[in-house]
Structure 1
Amino acid sequence: MRIVTVVGNPKPRSRTYAAAEMVVQTLTGRAPDERIDLADLGAELLDWSSPAVAAALELFVSADLAVVASPTYKASYTGLLKLFLDRIPGGKLSKLTVVPLMVAADPKHALAGEVHLKPVLTELGASCPTAALFLLESHCDQPEALEHWLSTARPRLPITQKGRR
């Protein structure tokens, strides 16, 4: 099983990046196989002929499981992530299981992943069998913050603790 993280934070190697890594490690007992930090692509996301963006899209689309993570900006996911997702044709993610992850400073944004991120991922064909995961910025490095979510999410995901189907 190939696992990828896609992080839509404009800051490279952000808390959101760390949170996505933690989610994969906690779910599977291992690190992701590939990491796509959209901050590294920056303005290239606007260049439809960019080989780097094409490679990142191929890594994402061909994965078995992905954690798609964004900080909460204006009560939704970032424009950086939107630019990346806009490059994917509808239905193209039909073989991909995705965990939507949103990170925010305030718990009032707890539904941002369910209301904004999860619908766009399902529109693109992804299977999102769990509730979107929400983490406070202050919990991005605390695996115990995942315990409640994990109790219902783990049985719905196509993995075991070792990351095998």
Structure 2
Amino acid sequence: MNNRVAVVVGNPKPRSRTYESALILADRLGGADLVVDLADHASELFDWAAPRVTELVEEVASSLVVVVASPTYKATYTGLLKAFLDRFPHQGLGGVTAIPLMLGASPVHSLATEHGLRPLLVELGASVPTRGLYVLDSEHDRPETYDAWFATAQQLLPTLPAPAPSLEVSSA
């Protein structure tokens, strides 16, 4: 495993609330070793020969834990995130523990994490031992938003080795 914790953010807006929320969650896990803000790679996602996207797929697949985050679009995850996840081969996330995270404006879509994103991650071979986390946009920066989820999820997540000394943030 190259990365303890990777974060993949599928919001088309760079450095979005989804991005911030994913980093807050990763910090609860000891910090992210790799952050992939897909907004930085949108122009490359449909170029199957794009070397940087191929590298990012390999880096995410070699992580112990990956936080996969998306805003809620039409009651599901974004096409940007789907385009990235389509790059993984069958069972391409085998051996990886995934945490689905979605943000939305209303609790009406709170099951989108469980009914949309979680099955996709399982299909790719990831272990998803916890319920996904749905965060209201208006509460994304409040620590208590993550407290109850983390209190129950922590015992189901793998024990992570000590954090790496530096953070790599993917850029275009």
Q: Distance in 1 between matches of 2:159 and 2:36?
A: 21
Whether contact under 8 Å (2:89, 2:124) holds in the other structure is: yes
Q: Which moved more, 1:138-147 or 1:2-11?
A: 138-147
Amino acid paired to 1:99: I
What's the counterpart of residue 12 of structure 2? Answer: 10
Aligned counterparts, 1:3-152, within 5 A: 3-28=5-30, 31-152=31-152
- Using the alignment, how far apart are the partners of 2:159 and 2:113 within structure 1? 22
Q: CA deviation at 1:88?
A: 0.8
| Structure 2: stretches of 5+ with no match in the other structure | 164-172
Superposition TM-score, scaled by structure 1 size: 0.93
Rate the CA distance shift 1:15–1:142 in 2: closer, same or farther, 3 A: same
Q: CA offset at residue 160 of structure 1? A: 6.0
CA distance in 1, matches of 2:73, 2:129: 24
Question: Is the Cα contact below 8 Å between 2:4 and 2:160 reproduced in 1?
Answer: no
TM-score (norm. length: structure 2): 0.90
Which structure shows the higher helix fraction? 1
Q: CA deviation at 1:162?
A: 6.4
Q: CA deviation at 1:5?
A: 0.1
3-state SS, counterpart of residue 93 of structure 1 = coil
Number of residues of Structure 1 aligned to a counterpart in Structure 2: 162
Aligned-residue sequence identity (percent) comes to 50
**Long gaps (5+) in structure 1:** none
* Aligned-CA RMSD value: 1.6
Whether contact under 8 Å (1:6, 1:68) holds in the other structure is yes
Letter in 2 for 1:13: R
* Shift, 1:101, TM fit: 0.1
